[in-house]
Chains A and B, each alone.
Chain A
Amino acid sequence: GENVEQHPSTLSVQEGDSAVIKCTYSDSASNYFPWYKQELGKRPQLIIDIRSNVGEKKDQRIAVTLNKTAKHFSLHITETQPEDSAVYFCAATSGGGADGLTFGKGTHLIIQP
């Protein structure tokens, strides 16, 4: 089955700086890679996703890049703000998301004022 590794487990950045979270996956058949943000005590919320036929996708301050050859994908957050503090999870699936996702273990992003 799929295995997703996520690094780092904790990331502390100054407000206004950029943050990068990296994930690797094992199943070359995986074709859908979403990122979720989970605030304390709340449910995971999808923030951005990418499919295997695209190398990069941006949505305002958030971007995701995918390298299929190396089997890794990354989340980039620019101009970080206090409300970006949360736990971020990457995930991968070869079932298009419908069969369920394999998640990384999460990154706790801390934005220092």
Chain B
Amino acid sequence: EAQVTQNPRYLITVTGKKLTVTCSQNMNHEYMSWYRQDPGLGLRQIYYSMNVEVTDKGDVPEGYKVSRKEKRNFPLILESPSPNQTSLYFCASISGGTDTQYFGPGTRLTVL
């Protein structure tokens, strides 16, 4: 079954404690992307990746890092989380043939 998985699904942490949200897809897609969703703001792109070792900033990259060492995985790293990074995060994997974005189930992050 084609799917995008994210872990953890829920996380409560404290300011400054490094964390990683993992994202994995089994569709062999080259393109992957991270979004954050905040009430009234819709979904905003954080980073995207066009292939292994190729990443670029989206609209709201400040405070985030990503890596793409393997095609299937695209982790989101918060080196020093702050309360304004409390949000719902979605990873997406994109079919190069149809441009359809397949979203993961989401990770709800709370930074105290």
Chain B, interface size category, equals: 20 to 34
Interface of A is mostly: loop
Given contacts A1-B59, A102-B59, contact A43 B42 (CB under 8 A): no
Interface status of B94 (Cβ within 8 A of chain A): yes
A102 touches B104 (CB 8 A): no
Interface of B is mostly: strand
B99 touches A98 (CB 8 A): yes
- Indicate with 1 or 0, residue by residue over B74-108, a CB within 8 angstroms of chain A CB atoms: 00000000000000001010101001110111100
Interface status of B19 (Cβ within 8 A of chain A): no
Q: How far is the CA of A6 from the CA of B45 in the complex (A)?
A: 17
Given contacts A1-B59, A101-B45, contact A46 B100 (CB under 8 A): yes
The interface of chain B, by Cβ under 8 A from chain A, is 30-31, 33, 35, 40-45, 48, 50, 56, 58-59, 90, 92, 94, 96, 99-101, 103-106
